[in-house]
Structure 1
Amino acid sequence: MTSRPHIDVRPITEAEFTDWLRAVNTGFLREPTPSKTELEARRTQFAPGRYLGAFDGDRCVATFRSFAQELTAVGGTPVPADAITGVTVTATHRRRGLLTRMMAQDLAAAKERGDVVATLIAAEYPIYGRYGFGPATWMTEWTVDVPRSGLDPRRAAPDDGGRIDLLDAEDVRKLGPDLHERLRRTQPGAVSRGEWWWHVNTGAVRIGSSWKEPFYAVYRSADGEVEGMASYEADDNWQDKQPHNTAVVNWLIATRPAAERALWHYLCSIDWVTKVKSGWRGPDDLLPDFLPDPRAARVTEQADWLWVRILDVVRALEARTYDREASLVLEVTDAAGLADGRYLLEASAQGASCTPTTRSADLTLDVVELAGVWLGGESVLRLAALGRVREERAGAAREADALLRASGRPWCPDMF
């Protein structure tokens, strides 16, 4: 047998960016050679040290990228996050530990930088648990059968004095960032959006050949405040001289339920549209109950969404809020050694402190499970029933469940 050549895993140089992007495209089964437009657009995001590559000779055969992000904890405090994307291993070089080496380098650097968590959207479920990531938010997509919904399309205007207007892309780039900032300050699981996001999602920056200009709608309250916004597209489907078009929502954000209701009612009132696909919503989204007949909204997709990896247990638990007073000792296991230890959490509605301790543990859980309960969407009792949390003191799982569960499900509106 011939021995495998040494594969170098390291941060890429700017001169290697084209080869790195070609490897990304290959891994995601896209046309390998990037266009000049895509290359120039993506090169503007290059940050030394945050792009890793695995090189077999001169060829890049695995890729990994991270960037600075903020993630909103329960209660609205943003924590610094290491957002991971662009993860690929070329099919010819699988099962050689390349992702493990890249992940170890990146997480160690994130810990050194002071990031509290790492985040990613997992394309393949089985991969990331071994690196300490756990699913922390989930998404649901509904398809609304508009004729069945019970809405009167002749009464589409908001009944609260607000109004719906259509915008162009330039207006979205002006008004959208402030609206999103107001939303993410109140929504656990939401992540920051930089200028790049708004440029890519309004066509100012083109990174692929499939861009289709969407429609944009904005909701303004009676006093003129922008409180909601949506981007959507529509197909062109006629059968027997009757329209059967589907409106597909790219994204919809709002700071008040009234704004959400108005935007969904507007989308369900558009001439020729008989179906509305909601896009990525939270599992407890209000959409179905905004309709006179909630059964008109059928779940067509449901899956894990944002995965979180706790890097700093103390800062993570102190960043979020709690609505009751309790003291809890958590034994956190972490095979990578980045977050393992025994921690005393003392929480109340006035704040929380978390410190390493030698006191006997109340609960033992892996860092994978900690992600979901930290963001408030997972039940400690459920995890205990599954054998993924071990109760060291009788009654501790129920106490922890009451302390750590949030009033609403966490939701991440974004893919990255």
Structure 2
Amino acid sequence: MGIEVRTVGDADIPDWMRAMKAGFLLPPSEISDEEIEHRRGHYDPDRTQGAYDNGRWVATFRSFPQELTVVGGAWVPADAVTSVTVSPTHRRRGLLSRMMANDLRAAKERGDAVATLIAAECPIYGRYGFGPATWCTEWHIDVARAALDPRHAGPDDGGRIDFADAAEVRETGPALHDRFRAGQPGAIDLSGAWWQTHTGAVPLPRHPARDRFHVIHRSASGEAQGLATYRADDVWEHKLPQNTVTVDRLTATTPAAERALWRFLCSIDWALHIRTGTRGPDDLLPYHLGDPRAARIVQHADYLWIRPLDVPRLLEARTYPVSGSLVLEVRDGAELAGGRFLLEAGPAGATCTRTGRSAELTLDVGAFAALYLGDESAARLAALGRVDEERPGALATADLLLHTARRPWCPDLF
């Protein structure tokens, strides 16, 4: 084709970043020197690639190491895929396929168990073996209808909520997040660079970090149990406030801390509306309000997609609520993770090995991805023609073993 797909060197970064911005419909002129230096300090040249044609970058692709929490609280090494663009001048030329093949092959060789991404467009990534593993929901809260006690003056669990500056968030936030993600399948680790960006230590164009408020919930003993970050507009009509609070992040390690933070947000003077940001699809939020109907869903969509690279490792890493066995035939056109596997699992642990036994369920690697974190039902996928039941009762066994009582959730964009 005459188009070179290659890794990105240090001198390439400014032009590569302009191509990435253009691919995301962001003005490339807004790239600052600080942003370029930030990228130079936090990228792996072996995992940053693109397509180069006639002296210009026309496609971009980057990955980085990540930890993905699975059912039971363990984590597996993941290849996090991001910054994926193809210029509209170079569509339908196989550039994404070439970059994706390079990255997934390298991830498999490194020993990553899975690849992850946040899909900007739904139809693209299924053809590379990805499947939607978590979903997200966003609510709009009508504060006046929330029916909360107007005399509410603070947490009712003996704790307290205080404002925090950016430095305190950088000090307290990482350990709090690590405790949170240990109990939340689908959550990912956050780097020091992420916390720098989140708190505005690294000024980026079109980034509201410096306009954010941060509050920390602490228990009666002083332990940090929750963190909320939000913005507020300043809109008045006829000398009456019409303001909306937009929540960028709310993390809590206990239901009491979560409830206290939502009630704090609903008690902010002059705030009539709250946009919750992306939450888990079975979030408790509506039931923290006196009237759950005050929280109206404004967005519900797939979020984290995963691409299995090592089926036995993935199945042995998670936990199971009951004992059982299942023979899975996983089909993978890219020949990265396919095979026939015997899963023998129970509350005490699991083993998964290749087997010559007859398959009980047959599915492609993308359907396995949708099942793995416990969000999807094997019976539903079978009804959609994505899973074949080879032994009567195998669908029920799969759902007993894999489905979870609470849905997985990934709070973070990457």
| TM-score higher than 0.5 | yes
Pairwise CA distance, 1:96: 0.2
Question: How far apart in 2 are the matches of 1:338 and 1:206?
Answer: 40
- 1:26 and 2:41 equivalent? no
The question of whether the paired residues in 2 share the 8 Å contact of 1:11 and 1:50 is answered with yes
- 1:159 and 2:151 equivalent? no
The question of whether the paired residues in 2 share the 8 Å contact of 1:202 and 1:213 is answered with no
- 1:214 and 2:212 equivalent? yes
Amino acid at match of 2:253: T
Q: 1:171 aligns with which of 168, 173, 188?
A: 168
- 1:63 and 2:29 equivalent? no
Runs of 5+ consecutive residues of structure 2 not aligned to the other structure: none
Q: 1:12 aligns with which of 4, 8, 12?
A: 8
Helix, strand or coil for the counterpart of 2:171?
A: helix
Cα deviation digits, residues 214-239 of structure 1 (max 9, x gap): 00011001111100000000111112
> Which residue does the alignment assign to 1:308?
306
Pairwise CA distance, 1:155: 0.8
Question: How far apart in 2 are the matches of 1:53 and 1:388?
Answer: 33
Question: How far apart in 1 are the matches of 2:190 and 2:135?
Answer: 19
Amino acid at match of 2:20: V
> Which residue does the alignment assign to 1:100?
97
Question: How far apart in 2 are the matches of 1:112 and 1:207?
Answer: 34
> Which residue does the alignment assign to 1:243?
241
- 1:411 and 2:409 equivalent? yes
Question: How far apart in 1 are the matches of 2:94 and 2:405?
Answer: 41
Pairwise CA distance, 1:172: 0.3
**1:101-116 → structure 2 map (5 Å cutoff):** 101-116=98-113
Amino acid at match of 1:19: D
Helix, strand or coil for the counterpart of 1:199?
A: helix
Q: 2:278 aligns with which of 277, 280, 289?
A: 280
> Which residue does the alignment assign to 1:226?
224
Q: 2:199 aligns with which of 193, 197, 202?
A: 202
TM-score (norm 2): 0.98
Helix, strand or coil for the counterpart of 1:62?
A: strand
> Which residue does the alignment assign to 1:384?
382
Question: How far apart in 1 are the matches of 2:151 and 2:272?
Answer: 15
- 1:346 and 2:344 equivalent? yes
Pairwise CA distance, 1:93: 0.5
Pairwise CA distance, 1:181: 0.3
Amino acid at match of 2:64: F
Question: How far apart in 2 are the matches of 1:99 and 1:399?
Answer: 37
Question: How far apart in 1 are the matches of 2:206 and 2:141?
Answer: 29
TM-score (norm 1): 0.98
The question of whether the paired residues in 2 share the 8 Å contact of 1:53 and 1:62 is answered with yes
Helix, strand or coil for the counterpart of 2:283?
A: coil
**1:282-297 → structure 2 map (5 Å cutoff):** 282-297=280-295
Helix, strand or coil for the counterpart of 2:399?
A: helix
Amino acid at match of 1:353: T
Question: How far apart in 1 are the matches of 2:320 and 2:393?
Answer: 19
Cα deviation digits, residues 251-309 of structure 1 (max 9, x gap): 00000000000000000000000111111100100000001100000001110000000
Amino acid at match of 2:107: A
Amino acid at match of 1:206: P
Segment of structure 1 superposing worse, 8-17 or 375-384: 8-17
Cα deviation digits, residues 157-180 of structure 1 (max 9, x gap): 111110110101110000000000
Amino acid at match of 2:34: T
Pairwise CA distance, 1:35: 1.8
Question: How far apart in 1 are the matches of 2:257 and 2:338?
Answer: 43
The question of whether the paired residues in 2 share the 8 Å contact of 1:243 and 1:272 is answered with yes
Helix, strand or coil for the counterpart of 2:336?
A: coil
Pairwise CA distance, 1:249: 0.2
Matched positions, count: 412
Q: 1:182 aligns with which of 166, 175, 179?
A: 179
Cα deviation digits, residues 305-338 of structure 1 (max 9, x gap): 0000000001000000001110100000111111
Runs of 5+ consecutive residues of structure 1 not aligned to the other structure: none
RMSD of equivalent CA atoms: 0.9
Pairwise CA distance, 1:89: 0.4
Pairwise CA distance, 1:406: 1.1
Pairwise CA distance, 1:210: 3.8
Question: How far apart in 1 are the matches of 2:104 and 2:45?
Answer: 16
Pairwise CA distance, 1:364: 0.4
Question: How far apart in 2 are the matches of 1:62 and 1:188?
Answer: 32
**1:128-139 → structure 2 map (5 Å cutoff):** 128-139=125-136
